[in-house]
Chain A
Amino acid sequence: MKKFLHSILITFILIVNLYAFSASYTYDNIDNLAYVVAIGIDTSKSNNLKISFQFTDTSAYSNDSSSGSKGTIINTVEAQSLESSVNILNSYIGKNVNLAHCKVIVFSEEIAKAGLSNYIYSLINNSQIRPTSNIVISKCEAKYYLENSISESEKLITKYYDVFPNSSDYTGYISYVTLGDFFNQITDKTRSPVAILGGVNAKTSDINSGSEDASSILASKSTVVGERGTENLGLAVFKEDKLVGELTALESLCHSIIDNEANTFLISIANPRNSENTIDLSASEYKKTSINVDVSNGSPYINIDVYLNAEIMSIDTNTDYLDEAYLNEVATSANNFLASQISKYLYKTSTDFKSCINDFDKYASIHFLTNNDWENYDWVSSYEDAFFNVNVYTSVNSSMLLTES
């Protein structure tokens, strides 16, 4: 009798639980979900948000590739917040919108200038969104950015979104900024975040108005002409949560060098023996950048030592690349060039942007014993009067395959 009642009880619990969780099941089942791969947030005319959701066309993933589809589908909704826009879109699409595979979140410049903290907090609060999605600030409309980020020869936009932030590793021209990093930096009162800067890529060379060297190229002003309509170059600088400026490619490289984010990168310096030419060096940091912040005299005095190893990539005629004197000259030229660029970048952040976007605050807090002392020091205003001393120590090893020309 007891065993019979036992089995009745177990069956009852099983059936009840099967039914009870089925609500979650019908909500979450793979067949009933539409996966967003990118979100774009713009302002609309009526003070609402215009949010664009990018989906992929699943037939792009099947073997029969004769469908000739574009590969992505973009739906735009106007609403007051991200959650309400998802809500409205749910009834339009018919499937449940799921943000678990969202790779990129694009904000337009206007939204960024007005302040991003509310949006970032809502995004982090959402259990579906990954904290490892990338944040892009686009100089054009976010919707335009999403529409043009897939090139005609590609079918899988997700691959592009997965891979493009990794260029920070080998160029240093952008930074691998994720939602989680952004949130951490926004909530940290003494540091401000940066974001990837995206923009329009002019498809013809007439419209482009950028100059040729890396010192002033950024998104929408690069010299690339290609079939992808958008490009990501440079960084967007924030003070607290508002956009205050942009960094060019070279300035972004300086930012990456200080934060030890760039593994290898290319720099073009003036040839010490022939000022008309430039030499390209492939450099990498062999030691972490050493930062020392001295706060004893009121304004912070920040000493930065950068240690690089470099190989010469561009070859000049009639040069011996194993000649120590020549290599030393190249190294000195590189040191001077980089030191001046990094200095320029640092003074730009402290005097123009008035925003600390590197980790100097952490090194400064070493000198304080309690949070009270640290808060009384008021790092944010002290940073505006900071002095920087940048030393670059490059050791040029050799050229690549040729040792002499």
Chain B
Amino acid sequence: MNLKNLTKKLAKQLFEYKPEESYDFSINNNKDNKNQSIQLADNTVKYEKDRKNQTIYTSLTINKENIQSIFNTLINSDIIIRDFILNARGKQYSAFLLYIDGMVNVNAINDFVLESLMLRNKANTYDGKEERIIHETTTNNITVRKIKKFDLSEYIYNSLIPENSVKKCTKFEDIISGVNSGNCALFIDTINIAFDIDVKGFNQRSIEAPNNEVIIKGSQESFVENIRTNTSQIRRVINNENLIIENLTVGEISKTKCAICYMQNITNEDLVSEVKFRINNLSIDTLLSSGQLEQLIEDNSRFGIPQILSTERPDKCAKHLMQGRVVVLVNGTPYGLIMPATFVDYMSSPEDTNIKPIFSNFLKLLRFIALIITLLLPGGYVAITSFHQEILPTELLFSILAARQYVPFPIIVEIVTMELSFELIREAGLRVPSPVGPTIGIVGALILGEAAVNANIVSPILIIVVAITAISSFAIPDYSFSFHVRIYRFFFIVLGFMAGFLGLGFGIFAYILIMCSLKSFGVPYTVPYVPSSSTRGHGYLVSPIWKQDTRADYLGPKKEKSQDKISMKWKYENK
């Protein structure tokens, strides 16, 4: 009876149909509504322009509502509106202060703005509605006085704000640009002027140069652990009010702050909602780093291939935000997560748009060759020497034979040993104390390698193969991506040993299949080649910057056009 039940249970487990638990999300890029969305985008632009050109109202409530809608303060977490009562000449006026948290020097606001406006002092207790008499004449018992009426804005400007740089603004546009750059804005009831006060105080560099993503010709700033500093770095680069930075907390115990950044007028809404949905639906106790978050929200973690870009450069995040991607920052980690990410993104470096396309395309081709070498050279070497020696030129073959004459191990043992030793050296190098670091490098690489060859443990040709593989693996820009390639090359070594080019072919086929099956937040990994979409400006090879006039359509952006067709008007339209 028991056995029967057990067999039944086993058969059920093996053969029962379970509906596939595949999580299928794709970005809705409805091309039929394209005209509609272009019109909508144009309307939005016009509406925004009109709104910004408005002059400041006398009613504080209307001003406040306008500001709240422009800055989306309900969802934008770092826009602060501080309401208070202003004392001036014995009268009290409602007012509010508008600033961006993290960009302002809080002490300056406290000491030189709020204190002087809110607290009682000699200047603002001046009594009465006294007007200043400029000139007085009496003619025929009629006194004619020329008086200067009390002007609140003048009074505040001249007497109540002891700050070095204060501007009076009448248009919302000026106020907004000031606030975006780190100033604070003072709005007061009954006057149609707002004050733009310079209190910039965002945290500058203890921000260091990036360690792992070094480029020659770009910015040398990287993220730090404080999330507010990181968001301010991104804000400074983007410099636009449509950048939304939403706050979320993840982790029931740690309540780690995460920030989701996106451009409201560019990024596809489905994408943003999907990111928020995934992050909000994590029931974990603690979230300690962006690496953990990456593993928790990526689509498919079976194969070890990364689907979310991880970067420590704010300029890289800004560039991707402008293309319509979403950036997630985690408090406590100097790495931002960019999603969605495709194969082309992992092989790009931030330098690619800073230098001329011919140089960056050369480097990109080099990186692709490096990828192939890292993946296939050791496996290919084993396959060729085990099964396909006729490919080798005769002299090279005999050199290999001569070099291997006294080596006791078969090729597979040699190559696996050397590859593993190299990985050991690489791992040990991370933990070596810095005074000893270079010495270990010399010991490990030169002496071990040379000593091993002289002792006839390995052949010199193998050292060259392993060295070239190692150097190529360093040429891949992204750390996680190069890591997965390093792991996969061991599979290729085993396959090459097993069945030569048939095994290698099987491995290559399986690898391509895996790449094609991956999706990163609804975007297929191998886009824009398969499934084919326009590669204008978004293909593997970089096109000149004046040709990159549309955003990638696989991201479904709201604003497809990023440049005019002729962007260099100085060159072409004056003719």
Quick check: A25 and B497 within 8 Å, CB to CB? yes
Quick check: B402 and A58 within 8 Å, CB to CB? yes
Quick check: A37 and B411 within 8 Å, CB to CB? no
Quick check: B403 and A101 within 8 Å, CB to CB? no
The reply to whether the CB of A341 lies closer than 8 angstroms to some CB of chain B is no
Quick check: B394 and A24 within 8 Å, CB to CB? no
For the complex, give the distance between the alpha carbons of A30 and B410 in Å.
9
Quick check: A56 and B398 within 8 Å, CB to CB? yes
Stretch of B114-122, B381-389, B430-438, B550-558 on the interface side: B381-389
For the complex, give the distance between the alpha carbons of A101 and B410 in Å.
22
Quick check: B14 and A5 within 8 Å, CB to CB? yes
Selected contact of A1 from candidates B13, B395, B398, B405, CB within 8 Å? B13
Chain A at the B interface: mostly helix, strand, loop or mixed? helix
Chain A interfacial residues counted at CB < 8 A: 32
The reply to whether the CB of A389 lies closer than 8 angstroms to some CB of chain B is no
Nearest CB of chain B from residue A54's CB, rounded to whole Å: 13
Nearest CB of chain A from residue B8's CB, rounded to whole Å: 14
Quick check: B386 and A62 within 8 Å, CB to CB? no
Cβ contacts A70-85/B at 8 Å (1 or 0 each): 0000000000000000
Nearest CB of chain A from residue B114's CB, rounded to whole Å: 62
Quick check: A30 and B498 within 8 Å, CB to CB? no
In the bound complex, residues from chain B placing their C-beta under 8 Å from that of A60 are 398, 402
Selected contact of A59 from candidates B13, B402, B503, CB within 8 Å? B402
In the bound complex, residues from chain A placing their C-beta under 8 Å from that of B386 are 25, 28-30
For the complex, give the distance between the alpha carbons of A158 and B399 in Å.
12
Q: Among residues 268 to 322 in chain B, which have CB atoms less than 8 Å away from a CB atom of chain A?
A: none
Quick check: B389 and A30 within 8 Å, CB to CB? yes
For the complex, give the distance between the alpha carbons of A59 and B401 in Å.
9
Quick check: A2 and B14 within 8 Å, CB to CB? yes
Closest to A37 in B: B394
Nearest CB of chain A from residue B83's CB, rounded to whole Å: 59
Selected contact of B405 from candidates A58, A101, A128, CB within 8 Å? A58
In the bound complex, residues from chain A placing their C-beta under 8 Å from that of B499 are 17, 21
For the complex, give the distance between the alpha carbons of A129 and B400 in Å.
21
For the complex, give the distance between the alpha carbons of A128 and B389 in Å.
10
Nearest CB of chain A from residue B422's CB, rounded to whole Å: 22
Quick check: B13 and A30 within 8 Å, CB to CB? no
Selected contact of A21 from candidates B385, B400, B405, B498, CB within 8 Å? B498
Nearest CB of chain B from residue A146's CB, rounded to whole Å: 16
Quick check: A24 and B410 within 8 Å, CB to CB? no
Nearest CB of chain A from residue B264's CB, rounded to whole Å: 43
Q: Among residues 75 to 102 in chain A, which have CB atoms less than 8 Å away from a CB atom of chain B?
A: 98, 100-101
Cβ contacts B1-36/A at 8 Å (1 or 0 each): 000000000100110000000000000000000000
Supply 13 A–B pairs (Cβ within 8 Å), ascending by A. A2-B13, A17-B499, A18-B494, A21-B498, A29-B385, A29-B386, A30-B385, A31-B410, A58-B398, A59-B402, A62-B402, A158-B394, A158-B395
What 8 pairs across the A-B complex have the smallest Cβ distances? A100-B390, A62-B402, A61-B402, A61-B398, A30-B385, A58-B402, A158-B394, A58-B401
Q: Which residues of B contact A (CB under 8 A)?
A: 10, 13-14, 385-387, 389-390, 394-395, 397-405, 410-411, 494, 497-500, 503
Q: Beyond A28-B389, A31-B404, A31-B411: 18 further Cβ-contacts under 8 Å?
A: A1-B10, A1-B13, A14-B498, A18-B498, A25-B386, A30-B411, A33-B389, A35-B397, A35-B398, A37-B394, A56-B398, A58-B398, A59-B405, A61-B395, A101-B390, A101-B394, A103-B394, A159-B395
